[in-house]
Chains A and B, each alone.
Chain A
Amino acid sequence: MNESREEMEFDVLFVGGGPANLASAIHLVNLAGKKGKEIEVCLIEKGDTIGSHSLSGAILDPLALKELIPNYLEKGCPVEETECKDEFYFLTRKKNITVPFTPKYMHNHGCFIISLSKFTRWLGELAEELGINIFPGFPGTKVLYDSGKSRILGVRTGDKGVDKNGNKKPNYEPGIDLLARATVFGEGPKGSLIRDIGQKMGIFSGKMPQVFETAIKEVIELPETSAFLSSDTTVVHTFGYPLGLDTKGGGFIYKMKDNMISIGLVVGLDYEDPLLEPYNAFIQFKRHPFIAEIIEGGKVLQQGAKTLSAGGYYTMPQLAVDGALFVGDSASMLNIQRLKGVHTAMKSGMLAAEAIITALEQNDFTQKTLQVYESDVKKSWINDELYEARNFSQALSKKGALKLIHLGAQYITGGRGIKDPLSIEADSSTLKKLAKKKAPEGSEPSAQDFDGKLYVDKLTGVFLSGTQHEEDQPCHIIVNDMDICVTKCFELYRNPCTRFCPGDVYEIEGEDSGKIRLKLNPSNCLHCKTCEIKDPFNNITWTCPEGGGPNYSIV
């Protein structure tokens, strides 16, 4: 479509409405105000509202929040629980064993429990009050470069009103070109625009591959009589069952307000067994006697899934190029050791804002000026945290006793461990060839395992995420070569997409008839991006649909 597009110019454009970009925008406008500068700031977000695509545990370390909004409680920051009283367990198939030694990074003293979707919505309201132009429901779908592909000029928003065959509908509305002196990309893990920037500007070259984990979580309302609600414990972390010791990940339960709890399972996407189904593992986790007792009598109010960037230090891209900066999970800022990324995301955004102020003062938005952001990150506590955790994800990927040896060595050497750096393997290359044709007995829940209330199947989960998409639009999930699905992928891995997707987007039809084909249900998509990350043939490309997606409000 070579039509001319409307253009709008801003001083600064933020792509993505998560904590990194919102903290950045708020900090930027505050700083500009102090210097008496008037700037036009725009923030676009693909979710229909700010916060509707935000999902996390979440335990918040308020370090960055206190810097950004010292009176955050007076300003109405939605806190679920102010005290973190931790318990840490190893789960066997039937039992729970208290871990005798809790590593220091697992302590959450001074942190509090939040719902990330509520928290993000709140930040969005504050940003709007400051006069920032916030546009939810407008996905960025194309990065705009100068002719030499050496400078980023802005972002094009997606066309709306295109039918599934690519034809314009009567209400067709072309996307517009948003141009800015600086564009800040905070797309969250595995952004679809940063992928393009990586290919064109090489911001990931020379770095270890970004790796991810997928979290499936629910908010459950417990009966008032629940023993867990009246106990002192507010934070439970588990490892072991159902993932075992060789697959990265673990479970969590956090207490919220109004008799609610947040419960989830995180699965490292470097898992090897093609038959592993993270959603089933989540159900197994909930069915474990120790967990089942805590959640007994409850009702699932909301469910969702999202990936988190787990690679950390050695996977961080170049943080600034001519005309653009990269913040938060997009830039691997999450500290996997502490299972926290909101504080580092916010801080990275704030440091980016400070660099933009410098660029405004010098009227120079080239990398030369903007890279002060990169050096500020290196000087900040983000770097202290991430540097100490630089080999942590790699150690967790090790099997058996080796894992403990690496973890122990890193613990006493400030993260250096036995080998530094430990290399990282891309998540798409870790699957082992199919050994058995079926998942082990007991790992696949049967219909009886779901009661539609406390234990819900995948599709009920999609319903409980509030996910909706316009049905008549081009499929936003691109399978580049459909032949691979029915040949190599079926033979070697039995189409793991049908299992790793927590939204049942992928289905294989016709297995009985012998003539199989892949069927896509893009309307179910939770926007978690697990498919693009884990597909063993790198055959899936996730693009932004015209709007829609989950409607998270309390997860």
Chain B
Amino acid sequence: MEVAVLVKQVPDTESLLQLAGDGVSIKTDAIKWVMNPYDEFAVEEALRIREAHGGTVTILSVGSKKTVKTVQTALAMGADRAVLIDDPLAEGGDALATAKILSAALKDIPYDLIIAGQRAVDDDNYQVGSAVAELLGIPQISQVIEENILDGKIKCKKVLEGLTEVVEAALPLLFTTQRGLNEPRYVKLPEIMKAKKKPLDVKTLADIGVEPGTVGAASNRVKITAMKLPPERDAVKMIDGDSVQAKAASLVKILHEEAKIL
């Protein structure tokens, strides 16, 4: 079973977020970069599939020099090889542009199955996985919490509002992950050292046959026009009172008169 996993490097959600001067991006100098948590589920599931069915796990990512760290984390978890598309001309592209690059790179990577995170926690687009499947002309199943591969077919479980759905399709196929799929393994220290010696191909757009103008910022059909931080949280207001009743009464009063929600 040949499994390809799409991985993105994103800012850690605990990072200090500050808007950059252009008003449409964030400052990146104080950011801690990590693997997108949904992609961690994807890598873990790929490793479990390899453990059960044999084969290889290939990591594919689009990024820059710093993305090597995240790719190496996936290799240290146990993936066999990795491909990183690093090209300044790919920068600033939207979800569709990223999907174009990934699907072009996948033409040179053998796969029976592609696993992607349901979304990247930085831009929350939920689009890249689906677009890659569409561009490759293969079926896709989104937000999977359990999978089972048998006789060239995959059965996936998804949780919907109030019920569980089981979907089946023939391989090759792409599925995206949902929380609950697995508990990703810890990276072992010796594996981090071994990961540095695993094959990592860094490729440009030209290497994978993508015309520069068709991807990157120039190709974007959607444009970010503004970015704002969430509203500042007001300080907590403690309600004084001699009794529970008195406190409740002043709470109602505040909700009615100050918050104006009653």
Contact = CB atoms under 8 A, between A and B. Distances in A.
Contacts of A169: 183
A170 B183 contact: yes
B16 A301 contact: yes
B186 A161 contact: yes
B185 A52 contact: no
A178 B184 CA distance: 24
A160 B16 contact: no
Contacts of B16: 301-302, 466, 551, 553-554
B190 A451 contact: no
A171 B186 contact: yes
A30 interface: no
B189 A135 contact: yes
A6 B190 contact: yes
A160 B235 contact: no
Q: How large is the interface on A (under 10, 10 to 19, 20 to 34, 35 or more residues)?
A: 20 to 34
A452 B232 contact: yes
Contacts of A451: 234-235
Interface in B1-52: 12, 14-16, 18, 30-32
A334 B102 CA distance: 52
B238 A173 contact: no
A447 B240 CA distance: 11
A171 B18 contact: no
Given A466-B16, A468-B14, A551-B14, A452 B237 contact: no
Interface residues of B, number: 24
Contacts of B192: 133, 135
Interface in B137-157: none
Given A169-B183, A171-B184, A451-B235, A466 B14 contact: yes
A8 B190 contact: yes
Given A133-B193, A452-B233, A553-B15, A160 B186 contact: yes
Interface string A240-278: 000000000000000000000000000000000000000
Interface in A133-183: 133, 135, 138, 157, 160-161, 169-171, 173, 176, 178
B189 A138 contact: yes
Interface in A50-81: 52
B188 interface: yes
B244 interface: no
Interface string B177-197: 000000111101110110000
Given A176-B189, A551-B12, A49 B235 contact: no
A453 interface: yes
Interface string A292-333: 000000000110000000000000000000000000000000
5 closest A-B pairs by beta carbon, nearest first, are A553-B30, A173-B186, A452-B235, A466-B14, A160-B186
